[in-house]
Amino acid sequence: MIRHFSFAALPLVLLACSADNATGQNRAEAAGKPFKTEVIADFDAPWAMTFLPDGRLLVTEKAGELVLFDPRNKDKSWDGKVQVGIDGGPRVDSAGQGALMDVVLHPQFKDNGIVYLSWSEQGAGGKGVALGMGQIVERQVQCVRAPCPPQAMLNGFKTIFRAAPYVDGNGHYSGRIAFSPDGKYLFFTNGERQKFDPAQDPKATLGKVLRLNPDGTAAAGNPLAGKGFHPAVWSYGHRNLLGLAFDKDGRLWEQEMGPQGGDEVNLIKPGANYGYPKASNGSHYDGRDIPDHQPHDGFEAPKVWWNPSISPAGLVYYSGDLFPQWKGSLFLGALSGQALVRVKLDGENAAKADQWDMGARIREVEQGPEGALWLLEDGGQGSQGRLLKLTPAK
């Protein structure tokens, strides 16, 4: 049984709980899956997860809840009421595509206990995506009977960055977070908020990949700051960026939802313009055409794209040993595609490799400490929101 408490419109709480094909073409599902799937837990519309050094998981849920979950104790339940410490935190606006979104550990988490969260919120001018940080603190508490989970909370939680500008609507927040391999920089995605033009607006952070310092300030030396752009902008011309991951050589990969068709995996290059809404391999939902990416059109084309759409969500670079044949691949979930997708990398090139039907909307993919692949179902449109663990079939 998972015990967790909401902080949607309330102070943030953290708590303990028990327990290969041509680009542009979809690959047919393989006759059999090379992995077995174990259901570990069921969450309420989960959005993202990250592993702690001790093997526990932090899981965010759409409505604004953060759960500390130990998959090794999934069959245990706790007796006695757990008093949960509360200390600051975001006010989550979960309407539409809004949510408590990504959760990422500080590179020195073992020493400082700091975690980063992103979320959608109401603010001046409308709604937007924000970024914050706080320190996990756990204390043992007295329960009616032992064993008893510790009290856990985020201390000193503060907002360190907000997208600009805030606008009306409930879509395309993005909100993915990734630290550079050297731990010096934090990369943060801001969706174009279904407003199209902001993705090309130099003053807005919408439709952009941003490079920040760990404290949320714009990093020095960003490639477009001297050209009139917002000082945090690293790349632009994006739509709804829902995955960020560095490979072993320090390349930054990103996936985003295109319009009607045109979902993308991109290699992010500093200062590059990825074209949206001036170029896309998809079309507007009302049927209006968007010019396809063409050589020498001034825009950075995707390395991989899908038409029809799969609605990609989550992204991880696989570096584990449990699936040695997949080492060096990207994995992403598919929402409308209800699939787990593998993309093969070869230096700066990428190609589709596998697509497995999972029978549910896959929101998040993560690599576990032992090299297993962990998935979160979306929890909407027929999906339960389950946490799945994938290990080799043989």
Is 174 in a helix, a strand, or coil?
strand
Q: Please, are residues 306 and 261 in contact by the beta-carbon 8 Å criterion? A: yes
CA distance readout (Å), 236 to 40, 114, 261, 337: 38, 29, 20, 26
CA distance 36 to 38: 7
Q: Which residues are catalytic?
A: 172
Measured CA to CA, the distance from residue 184 to residue 212 in angstroms comes to: 9
DSSP-assigned states of every residue in 184-238: S-EEEEE--TT-SGGGG-TT--TTEEEEE-TTSSBPTT-TTGGGTS-TTEEEE--
Distance CA 45, CA 335 (A): 13
In sequence order, what DSSP letters do the residues of 228-249 get, joined into one string? TS-TTEEEE--SEEEEEEE-TT
Q: What Cα–Cα distance (Å) separates residue 126 from each residue in 209, 343, 367?
A: 21, 37, 36
Burial classification of residue 245, based on how many CB atoms lie within 10 Å of its CB (0-12 exposed, 13-18 middle, 19 or more buried): buried
The label of the residue with tokens 């949607």 reads: 8
What does the block give as tokens for 68? Answer: 């500390």
Alpha carbon separation from 43 to 14, 60, 105, 300 (Å, rounded): 15, 9, 21, 38
How far is 102 from 5, CA to CA, in rounded Å?
18
On the question of a cis peptide bond just before residue 198, with omega within 30 degrees of 0, the verdict is no
Q: Kindly state the tokens that stand for 38.
A: 């174990």
**CA 85/CA 66 separation, integer angstroms:** 13
Distance in angstroms (rounded) separating the CA atoms of residues 327 and 321: 7
CB 4, CB 361: distance < 8 Å? no
Overall residue count recorded for the chain in this entry: 394
